[in-house]
């Protein structure tokens, strides 16, 4: 017990024993303050930190080094401003973007830290900000307040300190949970003066990330009281239906469980980013090799020619090798534009634009909740076009968490289809009118009028017994609010069943710890509750033993069909017909539950009751002993019927999953839900299909064990480290799917605890007991890693994988395994705080925003309101972003190779002296103004096919997954294309200028005229080449191409004018060069010839490729009109809605994911209101929209 908290004693936590060393002799308290900090900069650190981060980029550091080199006169042939201006622009734009992002984080932190809360100070409650709360403070929380820290509940305005909390921010569940204070604190700490005098010492576990676990002890007045997770209110939850509650802060700020669960924030980079960096390194190597070769050339040239030519003597007595050394650095500067600094700022601009398009997409706007899509990062857009694996949460992500009572079978008769009161089946019925039942829930939708008629007639004893069971056998709590009933259920399934019974005339009214009162068709009856046998995930059933008003004792039991059928009496009727109905319900992916009863004699009950009381007092393994006692009474049951509940999927989920599967994206569902429920939803949403072979944990274990054993047998042939070609786990044709549990995954993931234990044993000189080689279990770390690889290989062979009962940490670990061993691009999508870990671990994290809290959204890279929007995000925005970025990068590298390598060809004619071909200002403005806009617009607006065709043909997505549009092959094609263009740009004007005379007798063969002609040719070629590569023309693209050419000529004539030369004679030296050269028709013909020869091969190659080897995209583009007409025709006809599958399989009811309220109900602690003044102020439990829980 390393964590000690003393109530109402702030100085206690500042004692030296609670200090920890921070740096050298500096110490600080081990208890965190309650303020949170997610921002990176403040006023003083912004400039130095931001510059430091930016110069961590190799490219920025490289340009800074170039700038320093350019200041040295002996080296540089280019003025310093050619590098300084682009560098300042890039650093400035990036700094402004970082500042905007950080200001948003500052605002969010400030809003949270400045929330208000009542804190007990100086004997009275004072309003305080969250940031000022400290460990040990006693706080008061009111209804609908957010909980500011992890707090031990002391008392509340409800009886027994019962406090309801909504944990949506924490785990995505919106059905309310209850928390209880200790009885001693509840009784003694109600008034302010009592709370002020409270000086208890809490000893508990250290801060950790386990949301479902807390172990501690309260020492107070010489007594010790055990504390558990049921006594804790966790930060991130909200107080509901409780007027006021009091608690003492245990963990604050960064120590709270929600902050500990956040997982490590990883810096995410796209595959293209990594590839681009490697290509930049390749260009650096090429640059150094070229510069070194030209420097060697200069040394030889100076030795052979330069030193002997008297007219080249510069008055410096430098050796040829030293001149070669200076020439090397000169060429590093001259050729630096092969890696232009504007590349990085252009990429940032494109990503920002693509993010805005996602934000502005009205087809991803959810009007019902007024929630638009939101790109929360601007650096990952093109990665959306390369996703191979999607990891999805289930509850709230695939489903709506809305439970509806749909159908039932009673005594072999099935009900639920639209039917008249006389039993005539209809195609489309109208909802039942519940006006006859004044306590019915008017929102309850049921269309089988025949069942209502049978129940109301009172003649069908089975139907009456069916609904009586539903109204009595449950752990639902009830309160009366303004003449209406409001139910609070431990699971939404129970709420749906009790509401169904209420509408059919069996209304649950109230309960005490030993009675239940219901209204049976307008007659109020009270039943004595003798025992409540609560649900748990092993029993898969719950029972209640009741004493009827007439003295009879009856047991009612409801549970999963598998466990109920095993316990039925041989005399039970309707087993076969009910089983047939269960299969029909299961085919419709409804969640089924069997109902049964048993009459018990007084003697039998008395004997069993004695055993039950003894089991309740057992200290060790009490649950197992109780389960054995329950087993004895739950036998010989009589079957009444079964219910079928629908856990509604979100709109469009099956279609989305089917579409993504066609795009070769594999979907894994990672859920805390139980196996049967997860499997049902898998079928409902088309993740699992009838053709698939399902493999469970035991089957997978066997396959992995065999693979492990075979590997051991082959160690003689294949030494460790050498990989044998992998065999398929499922060689048979057909599709496969895995369904695994969290417990089974633990064996694969080998949690760190086991590793820590091994290390501790190793330090103590002991060794952990080795595994038996015969059991197929891993013997050492290498075998464990190979087993993980085997598991990932097997899972990746499957079309679908469902992992149920997994913890948030396991979700993150599963994503890590696939990333580590498959090197695949992954996406995680979830809606609750339990999904944060996997959202942060995956390459792309998507949060579902709306009703499940904002924790997932806050940690995500992209957020929207419905799962169905994922297909548009990936297949439209993701694919377009990837295509645009690839096209942009290919062209950017090409245009800079074509631009820069002209200097290389020119060096053969200038003694390798690092003399530039172009004018200095052309070099400065080429990437900033003359060629940037058209390629930038292609990166922002280009599309091969429109959004509708992108969704219609998911196969278009596959090239992105395979990285076909940008790789080293494309890079070298761009390089050789650039070399070819640079050759033409230099040598055609060079040949044209050789021994030439102009019209006016002047020879247009000077260096400045050559510079003008090569630059003009380059601008025409680059802008026309991007026009050939543009797939989607808009007015803006057209304007950008023409404007770029116009800007070039406008700026060139200005820079070459006499006026500017007079003002800055040293900076602008090309006086009159443009006007002199471009009035010669001969030079215009030279430019036209250069442009024509450069573009003709490209046009021919493109024509051949599209004609002979067309891609899927080319074929769709060619038939675009036909496809668009077909789609319009389809829209007019409106396709039929998705039909549920037709598979015969057993479906088990999800029930509650944790124990219900049975402990509270049967504990003997009063659940009636206290007859005090404050009880009157208490507002009753409000019925909230029920949500399917997902236990962590």
Catalytic annotation, residues: 393
Which of 182, 602, 207, 649 is closest to 401 using CA atoms? 649
CA distance 284 to 718: 40
598 — phi, psi (to 5°)?
A: -155, 130
Using CB atoms within 10 Å of the CB of residue 1107, give its burial: 0 to 12 exposed, 13 to 18 middle, 19+ buried: exposed
Question: How many helices and strands (H and E) does the chain possess?
Answer: 42, 35
Helix 697-713 crosses helix 781-797 at what angle (to 10 degrees)? 130
Dihedral angle of Cα 165, 168, 170, 176, to the nearest 10 degrees: 30
Which of 173, 355, 271 is closest to 856 using CA atoms? 173
- In the numeric block, the tokens 């509708």 are attached to 948
Which of 750, 800, 753, 810 is closest to 1192 using CA atoms? 810
Give the bridge partners for 227, in sequence order: 216
- With H, G, I as helix, E, B as strand and everything else as coil, classify residue 758: helix
User: If you ran DSSP here, which 8-state letter would residue 181 be given?
Assistant: -
The answer to whether 135 and 239 are in contact (CB under 8 A) is no
Question: Can you read off the two tokens belonging to residue 1047?
Answer: 């800007």
What does each C-alpha distance from 325 to 293, 321, 328 come to in angstroms?
11, 6, 5
User: CB under 8 Å to 746, separation ≥6 — which residues?
Assistant: 810
CA distance 887 to 965: 8
CA distance 381 to 363: 18
- With H, G, I as helix, E, B as strand and everything else as coil, classify residue 218: strand
The answer to whether 834 and 849 are in contact (CB under 8 A) is no
Rg (CA), the chain: 38
Instruction: Answer left, alpha or beta for residue 166, where phi above 0 means left and psi between -120 and 50 means alpha.
Output: beta
The answer to whether 876 and 950 are in contact (CB under 8 A) is yes
User: CB under 8 Å to 327, separation ≥6 — which residues?
Assistant: 294, 295, 298, 299, 912, 913, 914
Give the bridge partners for 748, in sequence order: none
Q: What count of residues does the chain have?
A: 1192
Helix 808-822 crosses helix 742-749 at what angle (to 10 degrees)? 50
Give the side-chain half-sphere CA count within 13 A for 494.
Answer: 28
- In the numeric block, the tokens 């009459």 are attached to 599
Helix 932-941 crosses helix 1007-1029 at what angle (to 10 degrees)? 10
Q: Parallel, antiparallel, or unpaired: how do β-strands 591-600 and 638-649 relate?
A: antiparallel
Instruction: Answer left, alpha or beta for residue 467, where phi above 0 means left and psi between -120 and 50 means alpha.
Output: alpha
User: If you ran DSSP here, which 8-state letter would residue 926 be given?
Assistant: I
């Amino acid at each position: 017990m390393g964590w000690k908290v003393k109530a109402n004693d702030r100085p206690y936590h500042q004692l030296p024993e609670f200090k920890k060393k921070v740096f050298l002799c500096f110490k600080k308290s081990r208890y965190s303050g309650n303020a949170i900090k997610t921002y990176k900069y403040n006023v003083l650190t912004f400039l130095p930190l931001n510059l430091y981060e930016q110069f961590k980029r190799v490219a920025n550091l490289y340009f800074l080094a170039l700038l320093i080199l350019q200041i040295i006169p002996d080296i540089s042939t280019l003025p310093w401003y050619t590098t300084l201006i682009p560098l300042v622009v890039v650093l400035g734009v990036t700094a402004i973007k970082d500042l905007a992002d950080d200001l948003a984080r500052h605002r969010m932190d400030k809003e949270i830290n400045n929330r208000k809360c009542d804190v007990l100070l100086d004997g009275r409650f004072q309003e305080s900000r969250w940031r000022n709360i400290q460990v040990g403070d006693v706080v008061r929380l009111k209804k609908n307040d957010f909980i500011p820290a992890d707090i031990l509940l002391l008392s509340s305005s409800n009886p027994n300190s019962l406090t309801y909390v909504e944990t949506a921010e924490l785990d995505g569940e919106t059905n309310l949970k209850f928390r209880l204070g200790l009885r001693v604190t509840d009784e003694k700490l109600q008034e302010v003066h009592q709370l002020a005098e409270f000086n208890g010492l809490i000893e508990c576990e250290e801060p950790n990330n386990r949301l479902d676990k807390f172990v501690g002890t309260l020492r107070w007045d010489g007594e010790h009281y055990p504390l558990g997770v049921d006594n804790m209110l966790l930060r991130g939850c909200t107080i509901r239906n409780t007027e006021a509650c009091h608690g003492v802060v245990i963990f604050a700020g960064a120590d709270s469980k929600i902050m500990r669960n956040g997982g490590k924030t990883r810096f995410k980079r796209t595959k293209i980013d990594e590839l681009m960096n490697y290509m930049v390194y390749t260009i650096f190597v090429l640059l150094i090799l070229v510069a070194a070769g030209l420097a060697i050339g200069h040394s030889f040239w100076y030795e052979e020619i330069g030193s002997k030519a008297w007219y080249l003597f510069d008055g410096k007595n430098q050796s040829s090798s030293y001149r070669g050394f200076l020439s090397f650095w000169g060429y590093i500067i001259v050729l630096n534009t092969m890696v232009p600094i504007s590349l990085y700022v252009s990429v940032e601009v494109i990503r920002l634009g693509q993010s805005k398009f996602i934000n502005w997409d009205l087809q991803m706007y959810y009007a019902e909740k007024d929630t638009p899509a939101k790109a929360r990062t601007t650096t990952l857009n093109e990665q959306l076009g390369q996703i191979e694996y999607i990891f999805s949460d289930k509850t709230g992500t695939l489903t709506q968490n809305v439970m509806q009572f749909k159908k039932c079978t009673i005594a072999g008769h099935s009900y639920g289809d639209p039917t008249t009161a006389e039993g005539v089946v209809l195609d489309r019925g109208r909802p039942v009118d519940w006006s006859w039942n004044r306590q019915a829930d008017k929102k309850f939708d049921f269309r089988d009028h025949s069942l209502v008629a049978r129940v109301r007639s009172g003649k069908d004893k089975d139907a009456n017994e069916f609904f009586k069971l539903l109204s009595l056998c449950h752990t639902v709590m009830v309160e009366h609010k303004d003449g209406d009933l409001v139910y609070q259920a431990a699971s939404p399934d129970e709420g749906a069943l009790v509401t169904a019974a209420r509408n059919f005339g069996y209304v649950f009214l109230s309960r005490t710890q030993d009675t239940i009162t219901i209204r049976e068709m307008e007659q109020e009856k009270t039943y004595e509750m003798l025992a409540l046998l609560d649900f748990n995930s092993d029993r898969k059933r719950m029972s209640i033993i009741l004493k009827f008003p007439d003295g009879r004792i009856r047991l009612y039991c409801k549970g999963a069909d598998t466990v109920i059928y095993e316990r039925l009496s041989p005399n039970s009727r309707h087993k076969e017909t009910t089983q047939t109905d269960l299969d029909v319900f299961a085919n419709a992916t409804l969640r089924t539950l069997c109902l049964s009863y048993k009459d018990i004699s007084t003697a039998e009950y008395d004997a069993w009751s004695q055993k039950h009381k003894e089991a309740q007092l057992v200290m060790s393994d009490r649950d197992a002993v109780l389960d054995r006692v329950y087993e004895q009474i739950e036998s010989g049951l009589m079957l009444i019927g079964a219910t079928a509940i629908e856990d509604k999927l979100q709109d469009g989920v099956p279609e989305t999953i089917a579409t993504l599967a066609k795009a070769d994206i594999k979907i894994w569902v990672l859920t805390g839900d139980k196996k049967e429920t997860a499997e049902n939803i898998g079928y409902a949403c088309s993740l699992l299909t009838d053709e698939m072979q399902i493999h469970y944990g035991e089957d997978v274990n066997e396959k992995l064990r065999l693979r492990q054993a075979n590997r051991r047998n082959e160690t003689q042939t294949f030494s460790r480290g050498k990989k044998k070609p992998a065999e398929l786990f499922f060689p048979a044709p057909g599709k496969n799917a895995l369904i695994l549990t969290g417990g089974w995954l633990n064996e694969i993931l080998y949690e760190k605890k086991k590793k820590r234990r091994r290390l501790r044993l190793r330090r103590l000189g002991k060794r952990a007991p080795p595994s038996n080689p015969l059991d197929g279990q891993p013997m050492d770390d290498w075998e464990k890693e190979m087993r993980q690889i085997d598991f990932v290989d097997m899972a990746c062979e499957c079309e679908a994988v469902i992992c149920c009962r997994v913890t948030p940490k396991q979700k993150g670990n599963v994503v890590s395994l696939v990333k580590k061993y498959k090197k695949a691009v992954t996406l995680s999508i979830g809606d609750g705080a339990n999904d944060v870990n996997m959202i942060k671990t995956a390459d792309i994290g998507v949060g579902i925003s709306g009703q499940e809290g904002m924790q997932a959204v806050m940690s995500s890279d992209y957020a929207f309101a419905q799962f169905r929007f994922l297909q548009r995000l990936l297949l439209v925005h993701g694919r377009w972003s990837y295509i645009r970025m690839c096209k942009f990068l290919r062209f950017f590298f090409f245009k800079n190779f074509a631009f820069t390598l002209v200097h290389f060809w020119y060096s053969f004619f200038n003694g390798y002296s690092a003399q530039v071909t172009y004018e200095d200002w052309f070099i400065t403005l080429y990437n900033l103004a003359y060629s940037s806009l058209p390629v930038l617009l292609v990166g922002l607006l280009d599309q091969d096919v429109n959004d509708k065709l992108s969704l219609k043909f998911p196969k278009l997505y596959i090239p992105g997954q395979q990285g076909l549009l940008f790789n080293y092959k494309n890079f070298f094609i761009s390089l050789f294309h650039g070399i070819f263009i640079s050759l033409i740009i230099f040598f055609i004007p060079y040949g044209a200028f050789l021994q030439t005379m102009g019209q006016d007798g002047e020879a247009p063969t000077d260096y400045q005229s050559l510079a003008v002609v090569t630059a003009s040719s380059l601008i025409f070629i680059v802008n026309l080449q991007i026009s050939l590569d543009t797939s989607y023309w808009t007015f803006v693209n057209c304007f950008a191409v023409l404007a770029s050419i116009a800007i070039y000529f406008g700026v060139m004539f200005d820079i070459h004018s006499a006026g500017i030369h007079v003002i800055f004679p040293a900076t602008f030296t090309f006086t009159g060069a443009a006007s002199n050269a471009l009035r010669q028709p001969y030079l215009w013909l030279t430019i036209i010839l250069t442009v024509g020869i450069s573009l003709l091969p490209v046009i021919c190659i493109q024509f051949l490729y599209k004609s002979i080897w067309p891609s899927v995209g080319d074929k769709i583009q060619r038939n675009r009109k036909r496809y668009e007409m077909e789609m319009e025709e389809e829209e007019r006809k409106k396709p039929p809605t998705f039909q549920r599958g037709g598979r015969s399989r057993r479906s088990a009811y999800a029930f509650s994911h944790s124990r219900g309220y049975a402990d509270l109900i049967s504990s003997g602690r009063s659940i009636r209101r206290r007859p005090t003044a404050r009880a009157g102020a208490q507002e009753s439990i409000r019925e909230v929209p029920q949500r399917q829980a997902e236990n962590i």
